[in-house]
Chain A
């Protein structure tokens, strides 16, 4: 009769399977995501230390070289005031990133709190929150942002237009709330939540310690995707003259005003800032997509 008792030779060494380096694993699984992440890192560096990257001061007016074509001196040419377009794009990345991150963080966080609260409390609270979100969802993103802009005007603190950030954050709230609520609903029926309730933990503790960590994946995915949306929205609002205002370097602003007067003479004034917007939005979109595929294969589309 075979010996069925599990015996292990005393000399055997247990080698724990090596946990794959999460970064390396991500790069291997999502090469496109890795590429987009590199673009984001480069943008962040440019935004954090523009003075090391940009060859000129973005505000320096040089009447000797107005509307200069791209050359070794001015890689992307100059605008109607002789300002170096490459330098303005580098400084513009700071504006785009600050507003993109801040408004997406604000909007996604409020959305996540509302979504979790909606799922956790259910019943009447859920109903009220959802009806309110329905109202906000009845607006196209930019229309809602413009209404907030019209309502709040400008409030600049430390050179950042706070109301612009709020205006961009508000349309994000209902969209994140809906997704996070769906995820939180499936967490809410888990036995460990029942256990926590039975143990008599407070609502706040259950929400923050037990539910929030389990909806991090959809939250992070939405947060990244909405950075892209926020950058796009900031560019659109600035283009309309209702966002960032002169003389701050911002991509949308560079396309507005007199850029249109020089379609023929200086097409570079139009081309390069738009490439910058598209590249930034592209990178965050792609990174968000890869993150989604990586973190939660169920969301794959």
Chain B
């Protein structure tokens, strides 16, 4: 009986997907722009800009130095060109590296003082009212009664974290969840100890750039033995024009702790491409477990490939302790160009890394994404399930590395890469790299490529579904293994996104 009731819940989700698709009816859902007075730093990148960003965030000297060193490194680095993506050269001096809503300069005392445009933005993003108040920085908002399930939210609006919800409750559990700029001020010992230890300053061109100019982002510390009492969530939104968003996220799960972290991203529709270069570092100590889920729907550009976000992201988790676990789940439907490989360093013995990915590329989107599983410890295990969907003129590449080091005795990897093509002008590519340096390691790789065939669509349509419902149903079926790995609320959102991002892909 319990099993059947569960079926009922799942039925509900599917229906909601279909409803939302109908309501939304085509265009990019988050493509609006909020007219808020912004404070910008001058365009371009220089040591002065780096100092300015640091100063605006009221950072200590050591942090400013750290950034400046990164800037010097960046000058010597070259943009990577090995990915299967093609975009016009980016003029890094023609970008704003810092922008923030003017109203954030002084914290508002009540909801009336909050820029109503900002509240409107949160509302459109689907953030509940109480969280809206907290995010807007209204005093006393924390004590207001909450509706529904608790999710602590941190919102980053252009460059600045505008507020984190449920601070008090998290504090009681000993969990620190705040903006990274606050963490630098309030918890320098933690930040100093961990920042840049998973993704070194000189890791790659974009990570180095991020290290110099990151303006905000989220910080999480879960103390030993603590199971974080709620899901932590961050919304990133790029609003201002010609602005790069460079957020930095640092998550530390101390011994025996657990945390589930959700990340959602949107941006307004613009003709000119915008840059997004984030870094996420995760440290997982002994017996700790971290789940990191992303629903990325940055503006993908219009149907002719104009505009959109260039998403160049470095995400890496270091499973330092024995028996530690990391699970990356990503649903990538947005961005004009995606360059992203959330990776797992499996250092601790018996540590485990999992990577579940759905990457959808429609129209002229290009996605080059995958993961790296670096097995260093004994009996380490990893699992990769990648579902790539290409439609329109899009190119979608899975690029993954599985590396079994000499000491990784009895390490195991299982990789499954499935590609689905819609139409005949798109492409799917699978580029698996496998390095095995010990005899006891075992690596399995399975790959399939299939098409949404006319027979399937006709079958659905002959039962009464229209073409878009039919495509959404078939594609959601294809992605099922990954959708199941997402937390419930995210799974719903992801299903809707899958449907929305493929609208107009057939016929």
Q: Do A and B actually bind?
A: no
B residues contacting A by CB (< 8 A) are none
A residues contacting B by CB (< 8 A) are none
